[in-house]
Chains A and B, each alone.
Chain A
């Protein structure tokens, strides 16, 4: 039972001052084992805050990140799953699911976590699952101003993943979930 937080595109301080208070009250240290951050934090203070939530923090570089040392992609294994992380501004067209699937096959992973569009998305194809946690602060994106703050928490338990989607709609936190299982057919055959 491993809890993995997928979060990103905060754009602090340029486009948003901070995480919504209701999110902050829920994100307390000691509960989450891993954090996958898609990028665009943008400053060190946000990095330190995320580090305080969980010791195992993975970040990939977004185009506005002040720290240039974050990698472009990252892959890691958690339990039975291989996860990959990429900000997504490098994949053109932005947010195009087929192109992202291409990246997923390249990295040979089951779950790809990517951002940049600031819209939550969970998409399944033969190669695996793509998850976009959206923007945790609701910052405007290159494409739209209409953004709801959101992030994702994955509960990885054996071959099963429960994806909890936290979204702030009209000032209230709404939580949904998505279930999926990894079976032999979802492993990439290439």
Chain B
């Protein structure tokens, strides 16, 4: 198989052929190009989802044409050339990460090709700017962040009963143990700061608590249904429970610290891969601080895409609508025929599919391991994640252009809202080629 790959002419690797399902000859030749077409079996170490039943089978896909999943630990990656490439990449990473001052450019370049599982947590922390480039500062930074997070937890996760108790203690009111009085009428004492559960005052702790109750409920619900197919998040085990609790805490603290956007549905999906990666760090100490690291990296990540979540900015120059418009323009520039087909002929408004692609950073479109791979590129690209994301979305459209060109409104919408499984490396390769001012 590998030998045949070398013999295939360059033009056949162009994205135009990838969505071709009808031509038998071409597809069978294509089949020899892709490596190990069998579906990826669950890799040994962290459990990763199968191409779950919710991913609809390609309508005509009897052959796993677009199907080779490129999870890093996929044991079906049998070719020796690939294995040596993998170990070379790992070695390169380890060299880059072991230098005292890490070369960010070099790290970005390596990360672009996909980060091996073991070094991913550290690489992401560096790429997101959580860890400083100077290795010697790491311990200090981490400690600082941990203290900060625990302060947040302490301040923000209390329920009103505990808060009022603290207020009393600090007000020095002598609410001695009244159980030392064995019989008799219980004496009434004054309430502190006018705080009582039915208080309607805006400044009341209780009132604020009930106002926020709705958000907390929403967070709770969303956390419980994050990745129901993954044991890591869902399932009865205490590990899953503690993971869900951690996600919950992070989202609550984030919502309280950012009253501007609070919690928006979908943030849990953006949070999940981060937490997963950090929690599965081979280094035990790091894994134990996964919650802290995830929180700050989540803040970093969202700050890059903050404007997408702010409702008021929806129609502004920086909001989600204009981002979708940019995607549309990008598509027009690179593939006008497809653009015309989508937006003019079949009238598939990009908001119908691109909204989820962009706001959730493609977490819902691909399986979990593919999503991690895409995020490697997203974080490492020097152009910035927003631009990279748009290019990847554009590549996704071009990838299935044959089917889009042949389809009508319903079938195109259906296709784009349930994006078929694809060879991620090819997809990212195409996305890379879309860089720059002129069409490829």
Chain A residues with CB under 8 Å of chain B are: 1, 3, 25-28, 30-31, 121-126, 129, 153, 155, 157, 162-166, 175-183, 185-186
A4 to chain B, nearest CB (A): 10
Whole-angstrom CA separation of A165 from B161 in the bound complex: 16
Q: Provide the residues of chain B in CB contact with A185, threshold 8 Å.
A: 179
For the complex, would chain A's binding face be called helix, strand, loop or mixed by DSSP majority?
strand
Whole-angstrom CA separation of A27 from B196 in the bound complex: 12
Q: List 29 A-B contacts (CB under 8 A).
A: A1-B159, A1-B161, A3-B197, A26-B198, A26-B199, A27-B198, A31-B210, A122-B185, A122-B186, A124-B179, A124-B183, A124-B185, A125-B182, A126-B182, A129-B186, A153-B196, A157-B161, A164-B197, A166-B198, A175-B191, A175-B194, A176-B188, A176-B191, A178-B189, A179-B175, A179-B178, A180-B186, A181-B178, A186-B179
A177 close to B200 (CB less than 8 A): no
Assuming the contacts A3-B197, A27-B198, A155-B197, asked whether A178 and B187 have C-beta atoms less than 8 A apart, the reply is yes
Q: Provide the residues of chain B in CB contact with A183, threshold 8 Å.
A: 179
Q: Provide the residues of chain B in CB contact with A175, threshold 8 Å.
A: 191, 194, 196
Q: Provide the residues of chain A in CB contact with B182, threshold 8 Å.
A: 124-126
Q: Provide the residues of chain B in CB contact with A3, threshold 8 Å.
A: 197
Assuming the contacts A123-B184, A124-B182, A186-B179, asked whether A176 and B190 have C-beta atoms less than 8 A apart, the reply is yes
Q: Provide the residues of chain B in CB contact with A157, threshold 8 Å.
A: 161-162
Q: Provide the residues of chain B in CB contact with A180, threshold 8 Å.
A: 178-179, 186
Interface assignment of B213: CB less than 8 Å from any CB of chain A: yes
Q: Provide the residues of chain B in CB contact with A166, threshold 8 Å.
A: 196, 198
B196 close to A177 (CB less than 8 A): yes
Q: Provide the residues of chain B in CB contact with A162, threshold 8 Å.
A: 161, 164
B158 to chain A, nearest CB (A): 10
8 tightest A-B contacts by CB?
A: A176-B188, A26-B198, A122-B186, A157-B161, A125-B183, A1-B161, A175-B196, A1-B159
Q: Provide the residues of chain B in CB contact with A1, threshold 8 Å.
A: 159-161
Q: How many residues belonging to B are interface residues under a CB distance threshold of 8 Å?
A: 28
Interface assignment of B95: CB less than 8 Å from any CB of chain A: no
Whole-angstrom CA separation of A162 from B161 in the bound complex: 9
Question: Given A31-B197, A165-B188, A186-B179, 7 more contacts at CB 8 Å?
Answer: A3-B197, A124-B185, A126-B183, A176-B189, A177-B188, A177-B191, A178-B186
Q: Provide the residues of chain B in CB contact with A155, threshold 8 Å.
A: 161, 197
Whole-angstrom CA separation of A95 from B182 in the bound complex: 20
Q: Provide the residues of chain A in CB contact with B10, threshold 8 Å.
A: none
Which of A155, A182, A185 has the most B CB atoms < 10 Å from its CB? A155
Interface assignment of B383: CB less than 8 Å from any CB of chain A: no
Q: Provide the residues of chain A in CB contact with B171, threshold 8 Å.
A: none
Q: Provide the residues of chain B in CB contact with A121, threshold 8 Å.
A: 185
Q: Provide the residues of chain B in CB contact with A177, threshold 8 Å.
A: 188-191, 196
Q: Provide the residues of chain B in CB contact with A25, threshold 8 Å.
A: 200
Whole-angstrom CA separation of A123 from B213 in the bound complex: 34
Whole-angstrom CA separation of A181 from B177 in the bound complex: 7
Q: Provide the residues of chain B in CB contact with A26, threshold 8 Å.
A: 198-200
Within 8 A of A (CB), among B175-223: 175, 177-179, 181-191, 194, 196-200, 210, 213
B59 to chain A, nearest CB (A): 48
Whole-angstrom CA separation of A182 from B178 in the bound complex: 10
A62 to chain B, nearest CB (A): 24
Q: Provide the residues of chain A in CB contact with B161, threshold 8 Å.
A: 1, 155, 157, 162
Which of A166, A176, A181 has the most B CB atoms < 10 Å from its CB? A176
Q: Provide the residues of chain B in CB contact with A181, threshold 8 Å.
A: 177-179
A14 to chain B, nearest CB (A): 27
Q: Provide the residues of chain A in CB contact with B159, threshold 8 Å.
A: 1
- The residue of chain A having its C-beta at the shortest distance from the C-beta of B213 within the complex is A30
- The residue of chain A having its C-beta at the shortest distance from the C-beta of B207 within the complex is A31
B419 to chain A, nearest CB (A): 40
Q: Provide the residues of chain A in CB contact with B198, threshold 8 Å.
A: 26-28, 31, 153, 164, 166
Whole-angstrom CA separation of A162 from B192 in the bound complex: 13
Q: Provide the residues of chain A in CB contact with B185, threshold 8 Å.
A: 121-124
A73 to chain B, nearest CB (A): 23
Q: Provide the residues of chain A in CB contact with B190, threshold 8 Å.
A: 176-177
Whole-angstrom CA separation of A1 from B185 in the bound complex: 25
B229 to chain A, nearest CB (A): 33
Q: Provide the residues of chain A in CB contact with B194, threshold 8 Å.
A: 175
A-contact 0/1 string along B149-168, CB 8 Å cutoff: 00000000001111010000
Q: Provide the residues of chain A in CB contact with B191, threshold 8 Å.
A: 164, 175-177
B177 close to A164 (CB less than 8 A): no
